[in-house]
Amino acid sequence: MIGRAALHASLVLLLTASTLAGQTTTRTFGDLAAGPYNRLVIRGAMVIPGHGGPPAGPYDILIEGNMISQMVPFDPVAAERRGNAQRLTGDRIIDATGMYVMPGMIDLHTHLRSNAEEIEYVYYLKLAMGVTTMVNAADRGFQNAMQEAGKSAKNEILAPRMYPLVGYGTGATGFSRIELDSPAKAPEVVKQMAAAGLKVISMDPLGWNLDLVRAIAKAAKDNGMITSFHLQPSNTAVTTAVRAACAGVTMIEHHYGYAESALDRQVQDFGREYDYGNENDRFRYAGKVWLEANRERLLGAVVDSLIGCGVTMLPTRVVYEANRDFLRASSLPWHEKYTHQALWNWNLPNPAFHGSFHYDWTSDDEYYWTSAFRLWGDLIFEFNKRGGRVAFGTDDNYIWATPGFSSIRELQLLRETGMHGLEVIKAATYNSAHTLGQPRLGLVRPGYLADLLIVDGNPAYNLKFMYSFGDLTLDKDGKMYRTKGIVHTVKDGVVTNNARLMEEVEKMVAKSKASVTTADPVVAPFVPRTTRPAVVPNGRP
């Protein structure tokens, strides 16, 4: 155990730019961001620690380089006890009076998609909506993912910390297909993957062979890596969630495999027309299977087994929300201004794209998925209640889940299960840091890395305050106003100016839509014949 902790600590040092106080080189990214600073002080902030504890403060927070080094409380009791204390000073002072500081969020499953979307589009949205670390599928190739992760680690780009998610065998060389299917070879393969700097192994297609799953999961642990599993319905007759958990998998992604752990048989009642390769079928039945599950067993014995085997739940509810309410997903208010046209095109119903299966999506399908969200939510709630670890991921940049916005919506969808707002924040910070094996991430606390959010308003009062557009609320005089969202995200000591990031996103989106000349099948019925006079309603200075 001690050895592993030491290994983690050394990795942290390797991966961060310049950590030693007093030797920091402050970098600027135009007016988008600057940092790290020798001494950055956040003054007067209320603090949500991240481990589930309640807000407290206000505090002055000192960040030296990329590390939180001091937190001085200014609540009346502390102030009275201490007597007059000098406020902390530094190279940069951020007045956070009335604002809340919480740890940066860690999205354990997300996508960068491909080149039609600028990579900065994703990075900026993620940062502006509080994600400072992500496990991203290597959608643009393994080399690209490793290069980007390296650049982020050195703060050469404005992006969350990245831990690419790759298939088993990626980064290892010299193994045949037969060898990759052999449990006995797993220790060697995983060792090479670890040596290539990888942290997270995707187990997705391996459910057909439980011995292999077990061997890889063990090898991953032995090498300081973690495993992440999307239990495909095509293989759940072999590997259910309970079996995956007890085979030692670190985290189970999405909703798959749970209901299948509580059936009255080994296979769900696939309709006779079912074709796994037809995504309309696939997603319809992935919702329907929850109607077949034995509720009592699922929320009892299955939950206990999952906890007993120590697996982490990674729900990523937001990417499935379109399945219970397509109209909602396709008419979210930010699409016009902030959803990239490439993503929009991928979202449009189309049998040829992954995740674009809403071409015959009926009220029954939405009912199946509403029912699935309920029971799945009850499972998450029960798992959390009995001591299981719920982590945070979005799987966004797919199926109408626009990056960034989806991070906040995911919090709401966890809250919807009945988890407390503070537990939800814990899932997104402390729990996800632990799952990822990052002992210096996920808390606001001296000695922890400076991955922080400065939020206009209390996210434990209203999670929607974390949207870039904030939310409507009342001031002390009862007058309505709109909060400003996460004003600054601090990642590895670098302070982003989130309003500016969102402007850059808006520009990229405008460019992406400039050439679109045809109303698509989703919006066509709602385009008025007469358009209101164009105005610049919210022109900024």
Site for another protein in 361-420 (CB under 8 A): 361-364, 366-367, 370-371, 374, 411-412, 415-416, 418
Residues 37-66 that bind another protein (CB under 8 A): none
Nearer to another protein, 3 or 528 (CB): 528
Does residue 505 sit in helix, strand or coil?
Answer: helix
Q: Which tokens go with 243?
A: 């079996």
Q: How many residues bind another protein (CB under 8 A)?
A: 75
Residue 293 interacting with another protein (CB under 8 A): no
Residues 459-518 that bind another protein (CB under 8 A): 461-464, 468-474, 478, 480, 482, 506, 509-510, 513-514, 516-518
Range 22-48 burial, b when 16+ CB lie within 10 A, else e: eebebbebeebbbbbbbbbbbbbbbbb
d(CA 503, CA 343): 18
Residue 352 interacting with another protein (CB under 8 A): no
Residue 349 interacting with another protein (CB under 8 A): yes
Q: Which of 22, 277, 530, 541 binds another protein (CB under 8 A)?
A: 530
Residues 415-454 that bind another protein (CB under 8 A): 415-416, 418, 421
Residue 276 interacting with another protein (CB under 8 A): no
Please state the φ and ψ torsions of residue 475, each to the nearest 5 degrees.
Answer: -85, -175
Token look-up 């960034």 returns: 404
- Provide, rounded to whole angstroms, the least separation between the CB of residue 256 and another protein: 23
Question: CA torsion sign, 249 to 252 to 256 to 262?
Answer: positive
Nearer to another protein, 177 or 540 (CB): 540
d(CA 53, CA 97): 20
Q: Yes or no: say if 249 and 311 are a contact pair by the CB < 8 Å rule.
A: yes
- Provide, rounded to whole angstroms, the least separation between the CB of residue 60 and another protein: 28
The separation between CA 380 and the C-alpha centre of its own chain, rounded to angstroms, equals 17
Q: What is the 3-state secondary structure (H, E, C) of 299-339?
A: HHHHHHHHHHCCCEEECCCHHHHHHHCHHHHHCCCCHHHHC
d(CA 248, CA 226): 10
Nearer to another protein, 22 or 528 (CB): 528
- Provide, rounded to whole angstroms, the least separation between the CB of residue 275 and another protein: 13
Residue 340 interacting with another protein (CB under 8 A): no
Helices 498-513 and 119-128 pack at an angle, to 10 degrees, of 140
Residues 194-223 that bind another protein (CB under 8 A): none
Q: Which of 23, 86, 534, 541 binds another protein (CB under 8 A)?
A: 534
Q: Which of 22, 76, 277, 333 binds another protein (CB under 8 A)?
A: 333
- Provide, rounded to whole angstroms, the least separation between the CB of residue 344 and another protein: 12
Cβ neighbours of residue 527 under 8 Å, at least 6 residues apart? Answer: 519
- Provide, rounded to whole angstroms, the least separation between the CB of residue 474 and another protein: 5
Q: Which of 6, 28, 331, 446 binds another protein (CB under 8 A)?
A: 331
Residue 528 interacting with another protein (CB under 8 A): yes
Nearer to another protein, 225 or 411 (CB): 411
Residues 139-158 that bind another protein (CB under 8 A): none
Q: Tell which residue, 415, 414, 397, has the closest CA to residue 406.
A: 397
d(CA 321, CA 149): 29
Nearer to another protein, 14 or 327 (CB): 327
Span interacting with another protein, options 54-62, 112-120, 292-300, 532-540, rule CB under 8 A: 532-540
